[in-house]
């Protein structure tokens, strides 16, 4: 025993210096951005507090469990002959009460806090306070319409008649009402210092109510992978005094261009790491057209389509409106075919009459060396012309081929 203790004492300095050598690595954590835990907007601050309170409540259980696990492992180790040994022990009422009561109380507390916070921090709910000490009162909110594009962000200020790309600004201590949608693909609008992330989806509108309480330049981003340009889909958010914000608006109006539908469709085209753009005027109803997927002339808007459905459908007249119902931004032709009227590999041959674009044969079809070539005399009992694509062992008899499919 004494020899083992001496050996451990000899190795103790080596262990100490090994741990000490690793401490400088903690300095690398100084580069971490802890903005989520140190935000500048009241909504984000309340969300931060919810994280902290929930973590503390859970640690009330986690810390004692870990501590007692280590304590019992040390106390009842095999070398501790003085520890009590009771192989017949099987139950303790006091221990059972403690084990079940403490977690139950924690769960009740977490449930109550979560339920209250879920309603108070509902992103669709208008703000009732500027911060913990001030109510909104008569302060008029500012509205920003957000459009997620590939791969940039467009911000429209309907009350000011301006728009920007990849730059957002708002006055300090003024509520912001965000209306959020997307042009093509699902995305997520996120300014960590301001509030939590909110999804942006085509043909749908989500909302976010928030306020920035400190002047500064903040980082905004897409928090949902959306393709090749996702990593560069970032923007700057400026929290400014009212005077500085008015100056920023004047700058946008002085340097900006008109944003009509043609300019929007040009900006909508996929691009990566797009620089900041200013627009001094915005076409009336542009955001509504983006939301309803009818910016292109001649397309039927989603709200018009829903009105027709609510009235029982378009009847015979609906066929005439077919072209107006094609909303795919990639140029599908309305018949289920791909972009630029291209068909997916191995689509519907032979039922559609169009040749397959793939050399691969679907599973279950006879290989070419077994099936007769197109134009050859069909096998007896097979009324279909061309390849015999019946399942191996299937007797087709005198049955006629399947009718052409609907997506010709």
What pLDDT does residue 303 have? 86
Q: CA-CA distance, 374 to 371, in Å (whole number)?
A: 9
Question: Length of the chain in residues, anyone?
Answer: 408
Q: Which residues of the chain have pLDDT under 50?
A: 332-349, 351, 374, 380-387, 396, 398-408
Cα–Cα separations (whole angstroms), residue 160 to 145, 249, 305: 12, 8, 30
Residue among 34, 39, 37 at smallest CA distance from 213: 39
Q: Are 199 and 223 in contact (CB under 8 A)?
A: no
As to burial, measured by CB atoms within 10 angstroms (0-12 exposed, 13-18 middle, 19+ buried), residue 306 is exposed
Q: CA-CA distance, 185 to 329, in Å (whole number)?
A: 10
Which residues, including other chains, have CB under 8 Å from residue 183's CB and lie 6 or more apart?
147, 148, 149, 150, 202, 268, 290, 329
Residues forming a β-bridge with 345 = none
Q: Where are the domains of the chain?
A: 2-78+95-120, 142-291, 347-408
Q: CA-CA distance, 76 to 273, in Å (whole number)?
A: 61
Q: Are 238 and 168 in contact (CB under 8 A)?
A: yes
What pLDDT does residue 343 have? 45
- Helix or strand holding residue 170 (H, E): strand 167-171
Q: Are 349 and 356 in contact (CB under 8 A)?
A: yes
What pLDDT does residue 333 have? 41
Tokens matching residue 174 = 């003024």
Tokens matching residue 184 = 């093509």
Using DSSP, state whether 321 is helix, strand or coil. Answer: coil
Using DSSP, state whether 218 is helix, strand or coil. Answer: strand
Please state whether beta strands 152-157 and 162-165 pair in parallel, antiparallel, or not at all (unpaired): antiparallel
Omega within 30 of 0 (cis) for the link into 366 = no
Q: Say which residue the tokens 């992978």 belong to.
A: 225
Tokens matching residue 300 = 């039927």
Superfamily of domain 142-291: Cupredoxins -  blue copper proteins (2.60.40.420)
């Amino acid at each position: 025993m004494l020899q083992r203790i001496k050996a451990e004492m000899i190795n103790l300095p080596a262990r100490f210096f090994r741990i000490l050598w690793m401490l400088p690595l903690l300095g690398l954590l100084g580069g971490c951005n802890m903005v989520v835990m140190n935000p500048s907007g009241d909504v984000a601050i309340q969300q931060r507090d919810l994280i902290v309170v929930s973590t503390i409540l859970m640690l009330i259980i986690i810390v004692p469990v870990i501590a007692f696990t280590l304590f019992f492992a040390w106390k009842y180790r095999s070398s501790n002959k003085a520890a009590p040994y009771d192989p017949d022990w099987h139950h303790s009422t006091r221990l059972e009460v403690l084990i079940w009561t403490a977690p139950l109380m924690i769960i009740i507390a977490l449930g109550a806090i979560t339920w209250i916070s879920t309603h108070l921090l509902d992103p669709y709910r208008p703000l009732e306070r500027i911060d913990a000490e001030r109510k909104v009162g008569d302060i008029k909110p500012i509205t920003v319409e957000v459009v997620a594009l590939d791969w940039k962000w467009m911000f429209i200020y309907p009350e000011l008649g301006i728009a920007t790309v990849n730059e957002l600004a708002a006055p300090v201590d003024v509520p912001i009402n965000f209306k959020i949608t997307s042009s093509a693909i699902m995305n997520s609008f996120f300014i960590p210092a301001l509030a939590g992330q909110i999804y942006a989806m085509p043909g749908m509108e989500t909302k976010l109510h928030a306020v920035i309480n400190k002047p500064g330049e903040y980082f905004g981003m897409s928090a949902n992978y959306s393709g090749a340009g996702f990593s560069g889909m970032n923007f700057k958010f400026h929290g400014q005094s009212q005077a500085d914000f008015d100056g920023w608006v004047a700058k946008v109006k002085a340097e900006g261009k008109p944003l009509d539908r043609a300019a929007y469709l040009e900006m909508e085209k996929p691009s990566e790491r797009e620089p900041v753009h200013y627009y001094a005027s915005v076409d009336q109803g542009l955001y509504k057209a983006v939301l309803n997927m009818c910016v292109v002339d001649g397309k039927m808007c989603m709200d018009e389509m829903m009105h027709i459905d609510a009235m029982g459908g378009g009847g015979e007249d609906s066929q005439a409106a077919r072209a107006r119902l094609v909303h795919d931004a990639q140029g599908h032709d309305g018949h289920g075919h791909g972009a630029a009227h291209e068909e997916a590999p191995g689509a519907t041959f032979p039922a559609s009459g169009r040749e397959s674009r793939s050399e691969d044969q679907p599973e279950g079809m006879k290989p070419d060396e077994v099936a007769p070539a197109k134009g050859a005399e069909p096998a007896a009992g097979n009324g279909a012309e061309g390849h015999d694509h019946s399942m191996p062992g299937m007797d087709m008899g005198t049955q006629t081929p399947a009718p052409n499919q609907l997506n010709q």
